[in-house]
Amino acid sequence: MDTMIELPAMRRSAELAPNTADADSRTVEVVWSAGARVRRATFFGEPYDEELSLDPTHVRLDRLNAGAPFLKVHELDTLDAVIGSVVPGSARIENGRGIALVRISERADVEPIWRDIQAGHIRAVSIGYQVHRFEVSKPEAARELWRAVDWTPFEVSAVAVGADPAAVFRAQSSLHDCVLHRRDAPTPQGASPMTDKTQTPASDAAVPATQQPTEPVETEDTIMTEPKANTTEPQRGEVETRAQTKPQKPDAAPAPDTEAVATRAREAERDRVSTIYDLAGRLNLERGFAEDLVKRGVSVDESRRLILDQVAAKSDETRTFGHVSVPLGGRDERITRRDAVANALLHRYSPTLFQLEDAARQYRGMTLLELARESLGNAGVNTRGLSRDEVATRALHSTSDFPEILSAVTNKTLRQAYEAYPRTFMLFCRQVLATDFKAMHRVQLGEAPQLLEVGESGEFKRGTLGESKESYKVKTYGRVVAITRQTLINDDLDAFTRIPAMYGNSIAQLESDVVWGVITANPAMADGNALFHTTHKNLAGTGAALAVDAVGAARAAMAKQTGLDKKTVLNVRPAFLIVPASLELKAEQLVAQNLVPAATSSVVPQSIRTLAPISEPRLDAASETAWYLAASPNQIDTIEYAYLEGQQGAYIETRNGFDVDGVEIKCRLDFGAKAIDWRGLYKNPGA
């Protein structure tokens, strides 16, 4: 017999496989189901066992393979909760397990989660799924077994602790239809295979009593229905009673009026439902409690007793919380302690940049060696009687969390210094990501062909786009520095803070050197001419000092730049005035607002005052008089710079030293830059 019920989306625990994490593609494999049998809480009556069939014909993988979201703890109402997605086409059933590949987002706020996944700190995941059809059986002396033979996984979530497999999460807006197929129950004659709403066919009702066989049998089926607005269907909680009467003997009594019976049952059910909801509402009980009474068909008298018991229990109960975080093997405590120690060291390095957190106050006065000794003690290592040298050596090479603390400190100081360094090129250049270290070919698109008039019944003429190719590739820059055990013994915190900060500063400087080197070196483009060349019409024939007339002439030259066909005028408008440090004040005066001009000739036009000045001291080494104009990269390509995908900006790694007795810090940058189009840049040698 098949029964149509309504179910919410369900969730159950699964697991990540951190050893499959790929740092380059930012992917990790997820075992989203192993089909384990779990016990579900009482929901529609007695507890039951649920089993997810992993027969490929029973699982709908469409939503996973379409790029289902990878969420943060099943948060469904905010975009920030999306921390990645399932790689399209990767979800599959393999050796009785559901497997998929998840790609992690590149957002900055997701980076800590990705690092924890790679390190194996985050291993638990949970899937959300909907069941469309259960096959229900009742083994002897056991609970009912509900086996999902048609179900859809629709999201995967990273969680701190795997969810209780018996938990079911209800949401009023997420109910969906599910068929219960009870294999051990007969299907009533005339019933639909997908519902238990058995109705008497009109043709049967019209058969005369004298033509009906013997042995009258009357069956009733009671189901719960959801509210439907503006219909004649029964309201929430109504009981539909459909009577089906088998043929009777010729001398049997006439069949009862089934419509009248159904009407009386509906009226009685309305009274029961309204009374239960009214009592629960007046006593401030949760609506879910009343819904459970309604769905279970509890009588009004029994409902009154249960409601009073619930009120009494609520008045005496101790406050409880629905979600309890249970540390796994002390891992949460270790992470909390490690972060607190790192914060104390960072605050000691720079109190203004890193505020002291409450959890870190107990560590702020401790030396590096004292922190190392405590880390060993927390890891179960007895340090009594050990010399300072032995403590330092064991802390750097043991299973304690001290190397991780040093790694967190060096990483944060490097990142802070890297982001603080002023990189002036980012305003007029465009950033891209390179997927590998191969040469990237950038097409310099020409203008679109002019539209031509098409006469009546005329033919559309074809046009072509001119193009010119520029190419460059990402290069790797790096350095390794060793921090020895002597650093710990001498309590030299600068080795873990100032040295990484200097690295961060030098990486940002390197990026600026590469990009501004394109301007000062004036390299050849794909057409064989230099970036700034009279052939490109972006180089002034004679140098002129930075002034209104000279800037006006440069603006006019950029506006008259043509496409690759040498005909179409592009009307490029400059947005930035780029000068060496020696001309910074002059540039600021030029674009400043005129308060009271002495003469009409002294007025600076609004078009020049809208230019944003950029001062870069690297230009002084090439020329203290040359100045430049640059268009916005949103209008036309200028200079493009690229990071390796997944390695944007500075990257730092630490490991226990092998060649040295201490910790090695490796700093790396994957970066490249190239001028893509000369028409968005203009140079005046100055005077």
Beta bridge partners of 153: 129
Residue type, 426: M
Please enumerate, as own/partner, the contacts of 44-51 that have beta carbons within 8 Å and a separation of 24 or more. 44/5, 44/295, 45/296, 46/143, 46/144, 47/143, 48/136, 48/143, 48/144, 48/145, 48/146, 49/142, 49/143, 49/144, 49/145, 49/146, 50/146, 50/147, 50/148, 51/145, 51/146, 51/147, 51/148
Q: Which residue has the tokens 């009777």?
A: 248
Distance CA 590, CA 471 (A): 37
Instruction: Tell me the backbone φ, ψ of residue 489, rounded to 5 degrees.
Output: -60, -35
Cβ atoms of 514 and 671 closer than 8 Å: yes
Mean pLDDT across the chain, nearest whole number?
Answer: 76
Least confident residue range of 60-74, 279-293, 423-437: 279-293
Cβ contact 685:543 at 8 Å: yes
DSSP state of 236: T
| CB 686, CB 649: distance < 8 Å | no
Q: Are 53 and 146 in contact (CB under 8 A)?
A: no
Would you say 60 and 152 are in contact if contact means Cβ atoms under 8 Å apart?
A: yes
H or E stretch at 218: strand 218-221
> What is residue 430's predicted lDDT score, i.e. its pLDDT?
92
Type and span of the H or E element at 403: helix 402-420
Residue 539 gets which letter from DSSP? B
Average pLDDT value for residue range 150-165: 74
* Contact yes or no for 48/156 (Cβ under 8 A): no
Distance CA 578, CA 236 (A): 71
Does position 680 have pLDDT exceeding 80, yes or no?
A: yes
Of 278, 328, 332, 339, which Cα lies nearest the Cα of 303?
A: 278
Q: What is the pLDDT of residue 554?
A: 94
Q: To 10 degrees, what angle do helices 331-349 and 494-521 make?
A: 70
Q: pLDDT tens across 192-234, in order?
A: 343 343 343 443 434 343 344 433 333 333 333 333 334 444 4
Instruction: Say if residues 86 and 65 touch (Cβ distance below 8 Å).
Output: yes
Task: Give the DSSP per-residue string, 71-86.
Answer: EETT--S-GGGEEEEE
Q: CA-to-CA distance for 54 and 129, rounded, in angstroms?
A: 13
Q: Which domains does the chain have, with CATH numbers?
A: 2-182 (no CATH), 215-249+256-313 (no CATH), 467-595+604-684 (3.90.1690.10)
Residue with the two structure tokens 């975080």:
325
Q: Provide mean pLDDT across the span 586-613.
A: 73
Largest Cα–Cα separation, the chain: 123
Residue 396: both structure tokens together: 């750097």
The pLDDT value recorded for residue 402 is: 83
Give the separation between CA 221 and CA 508, rounded to whole angstroms. Answer: 75
69-72 and 144-158 strand pairing: parallel
Instruction: For residue range 125-145, list pLDDT tens digits in order.
Output: 888 888 888 888 877 667 788
pLDDT at site 539: 95
Q: Looking at residue 243, what is its pLDDT? A: 37
Note the pLDDT of residue 674. Answer: 94
Average pLDDT over residues 413-420: 86
pLDDT digits over 3-61, tens only? 665 555 666 656 666 567 888 899 998 888 877 777 775 444 567 788 888 888 999 99
CA distances from 33 to 156, 478, 487, 526 (A): 11, 42, 49, 54
Instruction: Tell me which DSSP letter residue 188 carries.
Output: P
The two three-digit tokens of residue 415, written as one number? 């990142």
Q: What are phi and psi of 356, to 5 degrees?
A: -75, 125
Distance CA 252, CA 256 (A): 12
List helix spans (H) across 592-650.
606-609
Question: Tokens in use for 602?
Answer: 């002294």
Residue 356: DSSP 8-state: P
Q: Which of 248, 184, 188 is nearest to 214 (CA)?
A: 248
Lookup: tokens for 252: 């049997």
Ranges 163-167, 181-185, 489-493: which has the least confidence: 163-167
Q: Which of 189-193, 333-337, 572-576, 657-661 has the lowest mean pLDDT?
A: 189-193
The tokens 């050849």 sit on which residue? 524
pLDDT at 163 over 60: no
Q: What's the pLDDT score for residue 128?
A: 85
Whole-angstrom distance, CA of residue 579 vs CA of residue 551: 12
| Confidence band for 659, pLDDT divided at 50, 70 and 90 | low
Strand-strand pairing, 176-182 and 124-137: parallel
Determine which of 194-203, 288-297, 311-320, 658-667 has the lowest per-residue pLDDT on average.
194-203
Report the distance separating Cα 120 and Cα 670, nearest Å. 26
Residue 445 DSSP symbol: E
SS3 content of the chain, % helix, strand, coil (to 5): 30, 25, 40
At residue 244, the pLDDT reads: 41
State the pLDDT at residue 13: 56
pLDDT digits (tens, 9 = 90+) for 527-546: 889 999 999 999 998 889 99
SS3 per-residue string spanning 191-208: CCCCCCCCCCCHHHHCCC
* CA nearest neighbour of 613 among 622, 604, 621, 601: 604
Distances from the Cα of 280 to the Cαs of 44, 301, 462, in angstroms? 20, 13, 75
Is-contact 382 370, C-beta < 8 A?
Answer: no
Confidence bin at 158 (pLDDT 50/70/90): confident
Contact of 509 with 515, CB cutoff 8 Å: no
Lowest mean pLDDT among 232-241, 381-390, 520-529: 232-241
Give Rg (Cα) of the chain.
37
Closest CA to 84 of 163, 130, 22, 132: 22
Nearest CA to 254 out of 201, 207, 209 is that of 209
